[in-house]
Structure 1
Amino acid sequence: MSRLDRLRERFPVSPRVHAYAAWAALVLFTLIIISGAAVRLTGSGLGCPEWPRCNGTSVTPSDGHAYIEFGNRMVTTPVSIAAVLCLVFALLRRPYRRDFTVLGALLLAGVVVQAVLGGITVLTGLNPVTVMSHFLLSMGTLIVATTLVWRVVRERRAQAQTPSHDRLLVGLVRVLTVFGGAVVFVGTAVTASGPYAGGSGTGDVVTRLTIFGDDTFNNIITIHARIAAVFGVAAVALWVFARLRGARDLLLPLGAVCVMVAITGAIGTLQYHILAYPAWTVWLHVSAVSLTWNALLWSWLAAGRAERAAEPAAAPARAAEPEPAVLR
C-alpha cells in the first residue's frame, strides 16, 4: 500500500466534502475577476507599484488606492486555499478519481500563473496586453472550476459524466460557446482601449490599446456591439432549436445564457449610449460577462458528446438451400 493510500485510509474525504470545496472554488474564482475589475475602475491598479511588495520598503499598503489594490491581492488567499483543498480532497476522497486530481492540480496551477501574470501586469505599468491576458486567463480558470463542479454534481446524482445529444445540437452549442469566447476577447480590447486604464487614482499615465489609431475605442466598441448582438440572436435561436429537438436538459443552461446576454446587453447600452460610460456600469458589465461565461460553459458540458450513429441491423441469415439430388 502506498503512502497516499495510507493517508486516504486515515483521513478519508467524502464526495460531499469535496463538492463543497469545488463549489467554493467556482464562486471565489468568479469573485476575484469581479474584484479585479473594481481595482482598475477605481484607478487603483498601481496602488501597489511593486510586486510582491506593495512598495519598495513595505509589504503592507499606506494609502487608499494601495489598500484597494492590496485588498484584491489578499483575495488571492481564499482562492488559493480553495484550489489547494480541491487538490488535497481529490487525493484523499473515497472513491478516488484521477480526473478530479487533474482538475484540482490545474486550478492550483492557474492560481500560481495568475499571481505571476498579475505581478508582470503591475511591473509593466498596466500594459494593455498583459491586462487583457490576465482577464482571459481568469476566464480559463473558470473552465476548470466549472468542469470540476459539473463532474462532482453528476457523480453525486449518479448521472453519466458526459450526456449525449444529436450531433448537430452538440456542434451548435460548441460553436456558440467559442463564439461567446470571441465576444469576450473583443470586450477585453474595448477595456484595454477605453478610459479606465487603472492608474487615474495614483496619477499614473497608462498606455492604451491603439490598433485603430486615436479612434480605437469607438471602433472596437462598434465591433463588439455588433458581434454581441449576433451572439444574442444565435443564443435565443439555439434555445428554440433545443426545445424543438426535445433536449429538455439543455433548456435551463441555454436559457441562463439568453438571460445573461440580455442583462449584459442592457448594461452595455446603458453605459455607452445613455450614461456616457461611468465606471460603475463597466463594473456591472464585467460582472455580467463573468456569469454569462459560466452559463456558456455549463451549456457546453450539458450538451456533452454527439450520439453514436445507430449501427444497421444485421441482415437475417439465409436458410441453407438444399443440395440438388445426385442420381446414381
Structure 2
Amino acid sequence: MSRLDRLRERWPVSPRVHAYAAWSALVLFTLIVISGAAVRLTGSGLGCPEWPRCNGTSVTPSNGHAYIEFSNRMITTPVSIAALLCLAFALLRRPYRRDFTVLGALLAVGVLIQAVLGGITVLTGLNPVTVMSHFLLSMATLVVAMTLVWRVVRERSGKPQTPVHDALLVGLTRALTVAGGVVVVVGTAVTASGPYAGGEGTDDTVSRLGIFGDDTFKTVIMVHARVAAVFGVAAVALWLYARIRGARDLSGPLTAVCLCVALTGAIGTLQYHILNYPSWTVWLHVSSVCLTWNALIWSYLAAGRSEHIAAEAEPPPLPREPATV
C-alpha cells in the first residue's frame, strides 16, 4: 500500500465534501475576475506599484487606491486555498478519480501563474498586452473550474460523464463556444484601448492598445459589437434547434447563455450609446461576460460528443457461447 493510499484510509474525503470545494473554487475564481475589473476601473491598477510588496517601504497599503489594489491581491488567498483544497480532496477522496486530481492540479497551477503574471503586469506599468493576457488566463481557469464542477455533479447524480447528442448539435455547440471565445478576446481589446487604463486614480500614465492608431478604440468597439451580435443570433438559433431536436439536457445551459447574452448586450448598449461609457457600466459588462462564459462552458460540456463517436468508442459485444444441451 502506498503512502497516499494510507493517507486516504486515514483521512478519507467524501464526494460531497469534494463537491463543496469544487463549487467554492468556481465561485471564487469568478469573483476574483470581477474584483480585478473593479481595481482597473477605479484607476487603482498601480495603487501598489511594486510586487510582491505594495511599495518600496511597506507590504501593506497606505492610501485609498492602494487599499483597493491590495484587497484584490488578498482575494488570491481564499482562491488559492480553494484550489489547493480541490487538489488535496481529489487525492484523498473515496472513490479516487485521477481526472479530479488533474483538474485540481491545473487550478493550483493556474493560481500560481496568475500571481506571477499579475506581478509582471504591475512591474510593466499595466502594459495592455499583459493586462489582456491576465484576463484571458482567468477565462482559462474558469474553464477548468467549470469542468470540475460539471464532472462532480454528474458523478453524484449518477449520470453519464459525457452526454451523447447528434453530430450537428454537438458541432454547433462547440462552434458557438469558439465564437464566444472570439467575442471575449475582442472585448479585452476594447478595454485595453479605452479610457480606463487603470492608472487614473494614481495619476500614472499607462499606455493603451493602439493597433489601429488613434482610431483603435472606435474600431475595436465596432468589431466587437458586430461579432457579439452574430454570436447572440447564433446562440438563439442554437437554442431553438436544441428544442426542436428534443435535447432537454441542453435547454438549461443554452437558456442561460441566451439570457446572459441578452443582459450583456443590454449593458453594452447602455454604456456605449446612452451613458457615454461610464466605468460602472464597464464593470457590469465584465461581470456579465464572466457569467456568460461560465454558461457557455456549461453548454459545451452538456453537448458532450456525437452519437457515432460514442458508438465507435463502445467495446464490441462479446461472442455468445454456443448453447449446451
TM-score range, shorter chain: over 0.9
Q: Scaled by the length of structure 2, what TM-score is found?
A: 0.95
Q: CA separation in 2, counterparts of 1:264 and 1:88?
A: 36
Alignment of 1:1-328 (within 5 A): 1-308=1-308
Deviation per CA, 1:84-123, whole angstroms, max 9, x where unpaired?
Answer: 0000000000000000000000000000000000000000
CA drift of 1:283 comes to 0.1
SS of the equivalent of 1:208 reads coil
CA drift of 1:257 comes to 0.3
Letter in 2 for 1:201: G
Q: CA separation in 1, counterparts of 2:226 and 2:154?
A: 37
CA drift of 1:18 comes to 0.1
Q: CA separation in 2, counterparts of 1:95 and 1:176?
A: 35
Q: CA separation in 2, counterparts of 1:182 and 1:226?
A: 12
CA drift of 1:57 comes to 1.1
Q: CA separation in 1, counterparts of 2:99 and 2:248?
A: 28
SS of the equivalent of 2:196 reads coil
SS of the equivalent of 1:205 reads coil
1:314 is matched with which residue? Answer: none
Deviation per CA, 1:112-162, whole angstroms, max 9, x where unpaired?
Answer: 000000000000000000000000000000000000000000000011100
SS of the equivalent of 2:308 reads coil
Letter in 1 for 2:133: S
Where in structure 1 are there 5+ consecutive unaligned residues?
A: 312-328
Q: Percent identity?
A: 82
Structure having the higher Rg = 1
Q: CA separation in 2, counterparts of 1:126 and 1:42?
A: 14
Q: CA separation in 1, counterparts of 2:230 and 2:300?
A: 19
Deviation per CA, 1:272-307, whole angstroms, max 9, x where unpaired?
Answer: 100000000000000000000000000000000111
CA drift of 1:51 comes to 0.2
Letter in 2 for 1:160: P
SS of the equivalent of 2:62 reads coil
Letter in 2 for 1:167: A
Deviating beyond 3 angstroms after TM superposition, the runs of 4 or more aligned structure 1 residues are: none
CA drift of 1:308 comes to 1.6
Deviation per CA, 1:147-193, whole angstroms, max 9, x where unpaired?
Answer: 00000000000111000100010000000000000000000000000
Where in structure 2 are there 5+ consecutive unaligned residues?
A: 313-325
Letter in 2 for 1:252: G
Q: CA separation in 2, counterparts of 1:210 and 1:107?
A: 33
CA drift of 1:240 comes to 0.3
Count how many residue pairs are aligned between Structure 1 and Structure 2: 311
Q: CA separation in 1, counterparts of 2:41 and 2:96?
A: 43
